């Protein structure tokens, strides 16, 4: 019996904002799993802004996607067939063969998940987006009670956890996002003390100074551009900047922060980071966030898109800010074998 | 008996490049020193690029100079009259009442110097420029043997010590400066392994990649602008950037580093710093650099200008790169009382 998989390939490299025609849905017969491999049927797929970087041809912390080859990324799947004694059919695992409905994966790349938590949380607060928030806020930000923390793209999958970790650490949190519905959730559910709707703000510096009258001690950057400039302007001496993403400039000619001299003048720390270089704290992260979820201290939102064929449009919607919280693709409707 | 002092005042705030008419030489009678004070006759004055920042009206890590008030800065003077039992006439001290020939200072602000070393070294390698190099290279750069270090404005008072500390730590050093005479000194005396004459270089990225084929692990920035962009481009993963100065943009509209995203992609650390926040390591610095000078491991150059009235032009020459090593003003000729 052959098993057919449908998977998205990179058809061409995007110039500027990616378009639907940069992606192609391809049908492919899968081989039978070999010893140490699993056949999984995906239930949830993740799309994330960082994937834009892999669509350029440039070498980076992850290898670039290749034209004509399948895309990949985080996914949650159920095991259909196992050739590894550690896993059994029916178990749900997180793995990295996303952008497709079925895959043969190495068992070593699969992680069994705690099914008492909604499984797609392992693409959000318990997945790499949550891990980015955890590393950036705790390892770099090192929040102290009473400090002021500014988080951009705060309603996204990374930002929303960054906000809540800062609140757990008893900081005052200023959150920016685009749209009143996002800001309301940040204030009412995530605990943000002040919010900025950047889409209604001509002057980010003035808005941030008003929202953070005592200055900014920690900036968690998901946006870059004018947000980064405003944070440099509002920073207190010795502030820490955890640089996680710069979505404002992924699809356009980048503009550098003109007030970069503030880094010297205010003795600022700017630390860039990527999750995969910090795996030594993964277990701590899983333990802490699982407990915070159980204690009701961490909440999250999802934007759910249904059906494999909508994966590219869900990805494109990230750059229009159409997601609230984690953008996920639900493949369960009629897709499970 | 009244004692007359001649001192430079800030006559007006510079717009762009400072001009001679931003400064005014004023004669003033000094009062007699009171208990705990010293009358000093200055022998050497320091002019430094950071002073440009204090000529704007902006609050910063040091208070701005005020229009109509005297400028100040590091100086070496001999005590003429002492009203403090810890000091005696004839002793040579470093202090902060520069830009003038005589001053009444608080004894607490004076530091006796080791006169076995040329006294003006206390404005250079043993003064705040050397301290900046020491903090930036050791506390932030944390050099390991075999790493590649890039230093900009490497022939200046800060950069030249940064180069030599990196060599003491057995690194490979790439040094940039403007002019072949500076580069020759860096190679032949300071031990730089490769040099870049930025004034002859259209493409700093290409020049740095060629000079640092294994990439840059530590960047000591005195320049900003295109140097900072090139360093971001050539940086290896986990590189450390000690941001000390940005002379390229002190007199012009600043341009931000367009490739700031490299900070995330390569997990870079950018740490700004100013010397006065790091006084807890001053004693270590004095001990180490004094020993390195005695061992012949640290050399320095000076550009000496004679006469108080030339202080502003010496300051302006910093921005044209006319100094090699530390720019100092020698007041000893016929000026000592």
* CA dist., res. B229 & res. B235, Å (int): 10
Please, which residues have CB within 8 angstroms of residue B118's CB and are 6 or more apart in sequence?
A: none
Listed residue (A194, A144, A150, A137) closest to A170, CA to CA:
A144
With 0-12 / 13-18 / 19 or more C-beta atoms within 10 angstroms meaning exposed / middle / buried, residue B307 is middle
DSSP letter at B31 equals P
Residue B224: list chain A partners with CB under 8 A. Answer: 260-261
Whole-number pLDDT of residue B334: 56
Q: Which residues of chain B fall below pLDDT 70?
A: 1, 334-337
Structure tokens at B71: 């400028």
* CA dist., res. B153 & res. B246, Å (int): 10
N-term to C-term CA, chain B: 14
Contact map slice: A 241-280 vs B, CB within 8 A: 243-246, 249, 253-274, 277
What kind and span of H or E run contains A290? helix A282-294
Chain A nearest CA to B237, separation (Å) = 9
Within a 10 A sphere around the Cβ of A114, how many other Cβ atoms? 13
With 0-12 / 13-18 / 19 or more C-beta atoms within 10 angstroms meaning exposed / middle / buried, residue A60 is middle
Listed residue (B121, B71, B70) closest to B94, CA to CA:
B121
What architecture is domain A128-277?
Answer: 3-Layer(aba) Sandwich (3.40)
> Class assignment of domain A3-124+301-330?
alpha beta
For a pLDDT cut of 70, what percent of chain A falls above it? 99
Residue contact A269–B268, C-beta within 8 A:
no
ipTM of the complex model:
0.92
Residue B97 CA, distance from chain mean position: 16
N-term to C-term CA, chain A: 14
* CA dist., res. B280 & res. B231, Å (int): 30
Phi, psi (rounded to 5 degrees) for A98: -85, -170
Listed residue (A74, A179, A61) closest to A124, CA to CA:
A74
A-interface mutation test, from B222, B272, B277, B278, most A Cβ less than 10 A away: B272
* A210-268 pLDDT per residue, tens: 999 999 999 999 999 999 999 999 999 999 999 999 988 888 888 899 999 999 999 99
What are the start-end ranges of the E strands in A11-129?
A: 23-30, 37-46, 75-82, 92-95, 102-106, 111-112
Residue contact B267–A277, C-beta within 8 A:
yes
Residue B250 CA, distance from chain mean position: 15
Give the residue from chain A lying closest to B226, CA to CA.
Answer: A256
What kind and span of H or E run contains B102? strand B102-106
Residue contact A269–B264, C-beta within 8 A:
no
Listed residue (B16, B327, B317, B298) closest to B134, CA to CA:
B298
* CA dist., res. B264 & res. B281, Å (int): 30
Contact map slice: B 51-110 vs A, CB within 8 A: 53, 60-61
Whole-number pLDDT of residue A41: 97
* CA dist., res. A86 & res. A90, Å (int): 13
Whole-number pLDDT of residue B2: 78
In order, the DSSP letters of A237-268 are EEEEEEE---GGGTTS---B-TTTTHHHHTT-
Mean per-residue pLDDT of chain B: 95
Helical H runs in A47-136? 51-54, 128-134
Structure tokens at A294: 């159980």
Better-scored residue on pLDDT, A159 or A255: A159
Whole-number pLDDT of residue A1: 64
Degrees to nearest 5, angle at CA B189 with B186 and B194: 35
Does the beta carbon of B224 lie under 8 angstroms from any beta carbon of chain A? yes
Of the pLDDT bands very low, low, confident and very high (cuts 50, 70, 90), residue A115 is confident
Structure tokens at B281: 């390591």
**HSE, side-chain direction, 13 A CA sphere, residue B248:** 22
**Contact predicate A10/A72, CB 8 Å:** no
Give the residue extent of every domain in chain A.
3-124+301-330, 128-277
Within a 10 A sphere around the Cβ of A17, how many other Cβ atoms? 13
Give the residue from chain A lying closest to B237, CA to CA.
Answer: A61
Listed residue (A229, A204, A255, A259) closest to B253, CA to CA:
A259
pTM above 0.90, yes or no: yes
Phi, psi (rounded to 5 degrees) for A302: -135, 145
* CA dist., res. A302 & res. A329, Å (int): 10
Q: Is the pLDDT of residue A337 over 70?
A: no
B-interface mutation test, from A52, A223, A264, most B Cβ less than 10 A away: A264
Phi, psi (rounded to 5 degrees) for A31: -75, 165
Of the pLDDT bands very low, low, confident and very high (cuts 50, 70, 90), residue A28 is very high
Listed residue (B256, B250, B253) closest to B319, CA to CA:
B250
* CA dist., res. A77 & res. A97, Å (int): 9
Q: In what order do the strands lie in the sheet with B194-197?
A: A194-197, A172-177, A148-151, A216-221, A235-243, A269-272, B269-272, B235-243, B216-221, B148-151, B172-177, B194-197
Pick from A61, A244, A258: CB nearest B256: A258
Q: Beta partners for A5?
A: A28
Of the pLDDT bands very low, low, confident and very high (cuts 50, 70, 90), residue A334 is low
Listed residue (A316, A264, A256) closest to B261, CA to CA:
A256
Phi, psi (rounded to 5 degrees) for B288: -65, -45
């Amino acid at each position: 019996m052959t098993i057919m998989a449908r998977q998205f390939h990179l058809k061409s490299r995007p110039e500027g904002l990616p378009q639907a025609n940069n992606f192609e849905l391809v049908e492919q017969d899968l081989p039978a799993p070999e010893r140490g491999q699993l056949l999984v049927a995906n239930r949830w797929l993740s799309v994330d802004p960082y994937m834009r970087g892999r669509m350029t041809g440039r070498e980076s912390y992850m290898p670039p996607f290749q034209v004509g080859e399948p895309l990949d990324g985080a996914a949650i799947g159920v095991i259909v067939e196992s050739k590894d004694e550690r896993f059994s059919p029916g178990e749900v695992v997180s793995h990295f063969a996303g952008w497709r409905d079925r895959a043969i994966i190495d068992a070593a790349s699969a992680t069994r998940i705690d099914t008492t938590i909604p499984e797609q949380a392992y693409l959000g607060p318990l997945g790499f987006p949550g891990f980015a928030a955890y590393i950036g806020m705790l390892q770099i930000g090192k929040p102290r009670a009473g400090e002021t923390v500014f988080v951009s793209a705060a309603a996204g999958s990374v930002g929303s956890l960054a906000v809540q970790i800062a609140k757990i650490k008893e900081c005052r949190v200023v959150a920016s996002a685009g749209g009143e519905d996002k800001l309301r959730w940040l204030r009412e559910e995530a605990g943000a003390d002040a919010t900025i709707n950047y889409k209604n703000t001509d002057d980010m510096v003035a808005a941030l100074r008003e929202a953070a009258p005592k200055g900014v001690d920690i900036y968690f950057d998901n946006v870059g551009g004018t947000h980064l400039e405003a944070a440099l302007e509002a920073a207190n001496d010795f502030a820490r900047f955890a640089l996680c993403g710069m979505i404002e400039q992924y699809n356009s000619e980048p503009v550098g922060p003109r007030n970069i001299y503030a880094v010297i003048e205010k003795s600022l720390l700017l630390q860039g980071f990527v999750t995969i270089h910090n795996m030594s704290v993964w277990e701590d992260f899983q333990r802490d966030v699982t407990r915070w979820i159980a204690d009701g201290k961490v909440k999250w939102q999802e934007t759910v898109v249904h059906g494999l064929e909508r994966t590219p449009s869900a990805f494109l919607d990230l750059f229009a800010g159409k997601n609230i919280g984690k953008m996920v693709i639900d493949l369960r409707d009629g897709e499970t074998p």
